[in-house]
Amino acid sequence: MVLDGSLTIGELGAFVLYVTTLFAPIQQLAQLYSTYQQGQSGLRKISQVLATQPTVRQRPDAAELPPVTGHIRLENVSFAYDDEAAAGESNGDGTGGNGGANGTVVGTKMRAGQLGASFDPVAMPALGNGTESAHSGGSGFADGNISDGGIAEGSEPLDDDPPEVLSDVSLEIRPGETFALVGPTGAGKSTIAKLIIRFYDPTDGRITIDGWDLRDLTLSSLRNQLGVVPQEPFLFHGTIRDNVAFGLRDRAGLGRSDSDTQLDADIDAALDLVGLRRLIDSLPKGADTQVHERGVSLSAGERQLLALARAFVARPRVIVLDEATSSVDLSTEAEIEGALDLLLEGRTAVLIAHRLATAMRADRIAVIDGGGVVELGTHDELVALGGQYAGMYATWMAHAGEGRRDET
């Protein structure tokens, strides 16, 4: 059109300018619609979170738990998830040691929510020695490893009448004892750990610590004396030091009343104990180096070691370990064996064992299968019994022998 004279150069320039000016608002309008849709989606999720009710509710007259010895008893405990709880478990919404678990608990009929991550202290006259009960049944193991979903243990979709994950389980964990739970996937050992932490309440029966029913205690005072080292620890965006001290700086009078200077010294000592000094020294700002959300800038093994350091600094009376060294290499695991012994010394420890080597370090071992305790005793007693644990031990020894022959 310019060539045939029907359009001047000036008119063409003006046309291009007007089109460009018009195009930008249209493009912004399209982006605004996309942003609006994202906002709507986020608002729905926020509304769901705000409307969510806790899985467990604290009673108005709940008591504060004084310092405990760590005497834990499960008395005829039964438990079942309903559909929503099972969905939360299978989707990995259960907390793992870092927070709450999603779903609804059968028996309480309350929609689950996100439990607070804070931990608090308690003690009452301890109950007398309980009897050790065992159920018959269960199946064998295919190899020497004990595989399980861990704290975020899954569950099958459930019917209107959901099956019990645990049925009439009675156990006593003595003060200062290291107690291992072993069994096949879905046996219920991680569920037992969640009930002890009180992520859920039993459908039937009760759980006590030093004679106190967990349901009679404030959640904060109970969890201040519990330490959890999950298989997949959660790290927040912040410094390594802040992640190790998470929840501790505001706990004066609740198990920790140290100054920040003393706490920082404890953090440095804990990082040394778990074998992270080499990593810390290699970072530009040492323990004050920032880590990304969920600790994606660290390896799985380094995240597990940081979770162990958290437990050292928190000084819990009861500690739950979900195969806390499963993601570290053999040389690193050997280095922190002594640190683990120091961590467990004088504390009641519940080990969710996925590997036989972990179970063998326990004072007593319970084999969980079919929702019940099928065997209970020390390592030597269970091997002599000739049952499931003995079969698992024989398989593990055979695999260990093959590994040694392969190395020669």
| CA 226 to each of CA 254, 263, 282, 320, 396: distance values in angstroms, whole numbers, following the listed order | 12, 19, 32, 8, 32
Which has more confidence, 350 or 301?
A: 350
The predicted pLDDT at position 401 comes to: 62
> What pLDDT, in 10s, does the model give residues 38-82?
999 999 999 999 998 888 889 999 999 999 999 999 999 999 987
Asked whether the predicted pLDDT for residue 29 surpasses 80, the reply is: yes
> What pLDDT, in 10s, does the model give residues 85-120?
554 454 443 333 334 333 333 333 333 333 333 333
Q: Tell me whether the CATH fold assigned to 67-82+162-225+316-407 matches the one assigned to 236-310.
A: yes
Please tell me whether residue 169 adopts helix, strand or coil conformation: strand
Amino acid identity, position 167 = S
Whether 371 and 167 have beta carbons less than 8 Å apart is answered as: yes
Please tell me whether residue 342 adopts helix, strand or coil conformation: helix
Which has more confidence, 293 or 243?
A: 243
Lowest-pLDDT range, 76-90, 142-156, 292-306? 142-156
pLDDT tier, 327 (very low <50, low <70, confident <90, very high otherwise): low
* DSSP H or E run through 116: none
The predicted pLDDT at position 258 comes to: 53
Which has more confidence, 358 or 84?
A: 358
> What pLDDT, in 10s, does the model give residues 153-173?
444 444 466 788 999 999 999
Residue recorded with tokens 């269960």: 138
Lowest-pLDDT range, 154-163, 239-248, 306-315? 154-163
CATH topology for 67-82+162-225+316-407 is Rossmann fold (3.40.50)
pLDDT tier, 403 (very low <50, low <70, confident <90, very high otherwise): low
Which residue ranges make up each domain of the chain?
Answer: 1-52, 67-82+162-225+316-407, 236-310
**So what CATH class is 236-310?**
alpha beta
How far is 184 from 259, CA to CA, in rounded Å? Answer: 45
How far is 113 from 200, CA to CA, in rounded Å? Answer: 11
Q: Which of 87-96, 220-229, 300-309 has the highest mean pLDDT?
A: 220-229
| CA 280 to each of CA 30, 145, 240, 246, 291: distance values in angstroms, whole numbers, following the listed order | 47, 32, 9, 18, 12
Q: What is the average per-residue pLDDT within 129-141?
A: 38
Q: Which of 7-11, 67-71, 120-124, 181-185 has the highest mean pLDDT?
A: 67-71
Backbone angles phi, psi at 16, to 5 degrees: -60, -40
How far is 80 from 160, CA to CA, in rounded Å? Answer: 12
Please tell me whether residue 149 adopts helix, strand or coil conformation: coil
Whether 382 and 390 have beta carbons less than 8 Å apart is answered as: yes
pTM: 0.68
Residue by residue, DSSP assigns 43-76 as: HHHHHHHHHPPPSS---TTPBPPPP----EEEEE
